[in-house]
Amino acid sequence: MADQTIQGAGIKIKNLYKIFGSRGSAYVEAVKNGMTKTELNEKHHHVLGLRDINIDMPAGGIQVVMGLSGSGKSTLIRHINRLIDPTAGEVIIDGTDVCQMNESDLRQFRRHKTAMVFQKFALLPHRTVLDNTVYGLEIQGISRDKQEEQARRWIERVGLKGFEDNYPNQLSGGMQQRVGLARALTNDAPILLMDEAFSALDPLIRMDMQSVLLDLQKEIKKTIVFITHDLDEALRLGDRIAILRDGEVIQQGTGQDIVLQPADEYISSFVKEVNRGRVIMVDTIATTTGGPADAGHVSVASGTTLEEAAKTMTDANQQYATVVDENGKSLGVLSMNSLIQAMVTPISHLTAAAAE
């Protein structure tokens, strides 16, 4: 069966509030007017889960939602498939507000538009790898032949060919999570929700699963919402990142935006230990001033990270590189010295230099 490209659907979250408690809607205006999470809990015994969340998640990209425990990130992702009902606000997908769907429409939406990968794998222990993987298609009423055709394809794509007849307790943690991913992909939904999907895995297996996801995404181009508390994971996976604290979005943008221009001290504390060479793009430090006339230049593509560019220049034994767009047009030049400096210079100095 030839590979298919499954286009994702864009998600627009608008003015979303979640207040846990029997009379949550009664306190929305108070929260809008500045009532804090602590005040709400102490005075009214209600818990503020989310406050005025506004995020546009572009179709076909990986949107990471990051935050520490209790920040609201898992609460947020569960609003997208309405496992949690909002107190106020909208979740717009393909022009439709999921929060206003009736029971029948919501059931169809969950079956056909979204799939979810959980931190705890959520495999059925009495089912084989194959039977776990076809589960979503069973619910949809797809024929068994079609179920198996789809499932075997994705089982192979996630690296589990030959394990179709094994049971979950015969697999490692990483292999079990691959089954969870294959099950979600077999469902053929445009939106993939991943709630701390790799957090329970050992570091090396976790990096391997990140690579699997990135490789698959080049093909499937789903809209992926990925929840994590790990900044390195967020920066590696996210086309865009939203950072939550106490139910509020503190900053959102690309990984480079967040590393170069942290919104406050809270964000700065997250990014201070980041390997900027893996995040900052060559476009940020390229200049229109070329190197010496007799210097050889190797070309690096716009969007290349500093670390990748350094390797390219080192391999070519060149001290200068020309940054080019997708058509090969020169966008500027960078030197090995400026590249190394950008990796170690304090962020404030680097952004000031880039602004000049």
Same-domain check for residues 167 and 255 = yes
The type of residue at 38 is T
Whether residue 189 is contained in a domain is answered as yes
Residue 273 is encoded by which pair of tokens?
């230990």
Residues 6+ apart with CB under 8 A from 217: 62, 224
Please give the residue range of the domain that contains residue 173: 58-90+101-276
What tens digit of pLDDT does each residue of 33-67 get? Answer: 999 999 999 999 999 999 999 999 989 999 999 99
Same-domain check for residues 157 and 202 = yes
Same-domain check for residues 333 and 264 = no
pLDDT at 293 over 70: no
Out of 250, 276, 302, a domain closes at 276
pLDDT band at 351 (very low <50, low <70, confident <90, very high): very low
- Ramachandran assignment for 108, one of left (phi > 0), alpha (psi -120 to 50 degrees), beta (any other): alpha
Q: Which residues of 129-144 are buried (b: 16+ CB within 10 A; e: fewer)?
A: bbbbbbbbbeeeebee
φ and ψ at residue 98, rounded to 5 degrees: -60, -30
Residue written as tokens 């500027």?
332
Adjacent-strand bridge partners of 1 = none
Q: What is the pTM of this model?
A: 0.85
pLDDT band at 346 (very low <50, low <70, confident <90, very high): low
Angle between helix 336-344 and helix 306-315 axes, rounded to 10 deg: 150
Angle at 75 between CA 70 and CA 80, to 5 degrees: 155
Q: pLDDT value at position 77?
A: 95
Whether residue 74 is contained in a domain is answered as yes
What tens digit of pLDDT does each residue of 105-134 get? Answer: 999 999 889 998 887 778 999 999 999 999
Under 8 Å between Cβ of 158 and 111: no
Whether residue 190 is contained in a domain is answered as yes
Whether residue 176 is contained in a domain is answered as yes
Whether residue 32 is contained in a domain is answered as no
Same-domain check for residues 256 and 295 = no
pLDDT at 7 over 70: no
Out of 276, 304, 319, a domain closes at 276
